Copies of this chain bind each other. A is one copy, B any other.
C-alpha cells in the first residue's frame, strides 16, 4: 500500500491547532495572523505536504457554484435579481443554485446548511420575514471561508457585504409624486415592519409629507403584509371612514393590486377619486387595463452588482484584504395611469 499523503488533519494534529485554522492559513485567510500562516506553511513543507495538495487546498471549496436563498422565487423582483447574478457570474464559469426559504427562518437556516454542504463558493441571501437571530450566520463567517452577501432584505453584520436600494428615497419620491398630483390625504400600506426595507419605505413616506407641510396622521399608516387580499381588506376599511383617503401609497405591488380591485368594486374612479402607487414594479402593474404606478427596484442591476461584489471579493481575498461593501442603488419611479390625475 502506498504511503499515505499528508493531509491538513496531520498538520493540525502536529501543531495542535484546529483543522479550520490550518485550512484558512493555507488559504491565506485575512483573519489568520502572518505568524500562524508561516508556522503552518513551514510545517506543511516539513511534512512533505505536496504542492499539488497545497494547490488543491488553495482551491478548496472552489466548486464554481454559488447559492442564492430568496423568500420566494415567484415574484418578478427575486427572479430578476437571480437573473442578474447569473448574467454577471456565468461568463466567469459559475453556476447558480437557488433555494426558497418560504419566508421562514428555520427553513432559511436549513437551506444555508444545505448550500454549505454542497460547498458553494458564495451564498447570496435575501433574508426571510421571520429571521431575527443571525448568530448562525455570524458563526459561518467566523468558521468557514464561504462568503455571504446580503441583498435587498439584510441585517447589518460585520464581515457581510450588502446590496440594497434606497427604499427611503423610492418611497419619498412616490409620496411626493402623489402630493404633486394634488392628493392631500395619502394613506400608506406599510408592509412587514420587521424588515428594514419596509421601515425605510415608511420613513420615506413620513419625510415627504413633512417636507411638504402635510400632517403625519398615524391612522393613515396601515399595517399590512404584502398580499392582494390584505390590499382589498385595507381599502374596504379605509372607505368606511368618515374622512376618506384620496390616495394610497402601498409598500407592495400586490397590496396595491388588491386596493385597485376594491376601488373597482366600490365603483370609484381612479385616478380621479383616488390615486394609487405601489412598490416593486411587478410586470402585472403594466398589464392592467388601468396601469399602476410603482417604484422600480432595478432588480437585475441589483443581481449584477451582487455578483460583482463576489467576484471582487475573490480578488481582494487573494491580496489578503477583506473589504466589506455596503452598496445602495437608486430606485426609479414609474408613473402610470393609477396616479396621473393632472393629465
| Chain A interfacial positions (CB closer than 8 Å to B) | 1, 4, 63, 65, 67, 72-74, 76, 79-80, 82-83, 86, 95-100, 102, 110-111, 114-115, 117-119, 257, 264, 283-284, 287-290
Contact = CB atoms under 8 A, between A and B. Distances in A.
Contact of A98 (B65, B100, B110, B287): B100
A96 B110 CA distance: 11
Contacts of A117: 63, 65
Given A74-B79, A74-B80, A100 B86 contact: yes
A263 to B, nearest CB: 12
A147 to B, nearest CB: 18
Contacts of A83: 74
Contacts of A73: 73-74, 79, 82, 98
Interface of A is mostly: mixed
A97 to B, nearest CB: 5
Contacts of A65: 114, 117-118
Nearest to A1: B4
Nearest to A97: B97
Contacts of A82: 73, 100
A277 to B, nearest CB: 17
14 contacts: A65-B114, A65-B117, A65-B118, A74-B80, A82-B100, A86-B100, A95-B111, A95-B114, A97-B99, A97-B118, A98-B100, A257-B287, A264-B289, A283-B284
A306 to B, nearest CB: 16
7 residue pairs, one from A and one from B, having the closest CB atoms: A289-B289, A74-B79, A118-B118, A98-B98, A73-B73, A97-B97, A95-B114
Contacts of A118: 65, 97, 118-119
Contacts of A72: 79
A148 B154 CA distance: 36
A99 to B, nearest CB: 6
Given A1-B4, A257-B287, A97 B74 contact: no
A310 B36 CA distance: 49
Contacts of A114: 65, 95, 97
A79 B95 CA distance: 19
Given A86-B100, A97-B97, 9 more contacts: A4-B4, A63-B117, A65-B118, A73-B73, A73-B79, A264-B289, A288-B288, A288-B289, A289-B290
A284 B288 CA distance: 9
Contact of A99 (B95, B119, B287): B95
Nearest to A65: B114
A291 B115 CA distance: 41
Nearest to A86: B100
A95 B264 CA distance: 42
